[in-house]
A = this chain, B = another copy of it.
Amino acid sequence: MNTDMLEKQLIAWRRDLHQYPETGFLEMRTASKVAAILDKLGFTLQLGKEVMSAQDCMGKPDKNETKNHLEWAIHNGANKDYVSYFSEGYTGIVATMDLKIPGPTIAYRFDMDALDINESDATEHFPVREGFRSILPYKMHACGHDTHTAIGLGLATFIVENKEQLCGKIKLIFQPAEEGTRGAKSMVKAGVVKDVDYFIASHIGTGVPHNHFVAANNGFLATSKLDITFSGRASHAGAKPEEGKNALLAAASAALNIFAIARHSKGSSRVNVGELHAGSGRNIIASEAKLKVETRGETSAINQFVREQVESIVAGAAKMYQISYKMEVVGEGLSCHCSKELAHILQQCAKEHPDIVSSILESNDSAGSEDATYFMKEVQEHGGFATYCIFGTDLAAGHHNEKFDVNEETLLPAVEILYQSAVQLSNTSQQ
């Protein structure tokens, strides 16, 4: 496939995925198509529960929602040979190419999930104009993971067609549920990067201009996403106020005190109670309350500090009102420490690409949170190298905006740079 053809294919893949967005742990249509393509290209596949630890999936939808989505996927173009591997919502894929020449194991991570956002129907919105707007209300690829998946498939194609420059093993990791930082940990716990020497994650956009490249993005904050439920006892507020165990008061008290968690002298932190829903009627002492909480820290230790305070506060608020509580971790990301050695190689690969006008080594701008950090930490802990790089692009609107869109010309260079990194790493290691 020449590069023109590949570029058209990349765009076709991306638009198809964009039109059929699937949120975390429901990427059944997406994964089934990805698996079919990779299989055909000759990769060895590991699918679903084989590459995901069930108990480490965070914030996974319940059985009912999963089952309903499976039906939707089947009716909307999922590949019938593969969809059954993902039917329970374990939608991860690891595709391995063993080059049969001794060499390093190099892994690339691509995330596949969409967001609960209603895509704009404005006529100036590119996906509307080109006819690939999301077919679903309140589901949208508004962060670019559709392009990530397409880039992953493009890289797979490139690798297969240019094997002669490579050695060792190449692992392509297609991860579910990056949004909410929910999916990576389960793949790490399933051992998918245990044997990896070099790990490269990447993202499109994030404010970096088109044809600019950042080889190491260290700005991610460690984060925890916590769902908290207080369960008390209802009672008629007029007739028997003393018989109630007030979950609304526990939740309000917890919320106030959570925001009051101390700042940390070692670096920046964040905490937010983004949602609080309590009670079922004006004249009833509220018996249930739910909070959605998020903590962040410049380092994993700072995030851990904040999270521990949340736990104490929640336990204390429950004790105050003699009620019970449940605190569920529905997402978690670590702080990010890219390996400079690996980043240097990436920076060089990008510099040499004819389209790239700027390739910088490192950026520490805050860029939210990422659970690719789980893979990175695991690889680095056993002596490997890891980095997180950014392919700049033109953004029609910011990430997570209903008018988010990218410049599709970013796709091919991204594939080429990633491929070049594999070549360089093969060479480096052979010396």
Q: Which residues of A contact B (CB under 8 A)?
A: 180, 221, 223, 225, 237-242, 244, 246, 248-249, 251-253, 255-257, 259-260, 262-266, 268-270, 272-286, 289, 292-294, 296, 305, 312-313, 315-322, 366, 368-369
A-B contact pairs, 25 of them (CB 8 A): A180-B282, A225-B282, A237-B270, A237-B272, A238-B296, A239-B366, A241-B270, A248-B255, A248-B274, A248-B276, A253-B253, A263-B269, A268-B268, A273-B286, A274-B279, A274-B281, A274-B282, A276-B277, A276-B278, A281-B292, A312-B321, A315-B319, A316-B316, A316-B318, A320-B320
Kindly state the separation between the CA atoms of A316 and B318 in the bound complex, as whole angstroms: 7
Query: Is the pair B276, A282 in contact by a Cβ cutoff of 8 Å?
Result: no
Residue in B221, B259, B275, B284 whose beta carbon sits within 8 Å of that of A281 in the complex: B275
**With a CB–CB cut-off of 8 A, which chain B residues contact A253?**
252-253, 256-257
Copy number of this protein in the oligomer?
4
**With a CB–CB cut-off of 8 A, which chain B residues contact A369?**
238
Kindly state the separation between the CA atoms of A368 and B322 in the bound complex, as whole angstroms: 27
Query: Is the pair B292, A264 in contact by a Cβ cutoff of 8 Å?
Result: no
**With a CB–CB cut-off of 8 A, which chain B residues contact A282?**
180, 225, 272, 274-275, 292-294
Kindly state the separation between the CA atoms of A247 and B242 in the bound complex, as whole angstroms: 26
**With a CB–CB cut-off of 8 A, which chain B residues contact A239?**
265, 366, 368
Given contacts A242-B263, A263-B241, A263-B268, contact A274 B256 (CB under 8 A): no
Query: Is the pair B283, A279 in contact by a Cβ cutoff of 8 Å?
Result: no
Query: Is the pair A265, B316 in contact by a Cβ cutoff of 8 Å?
Result: no
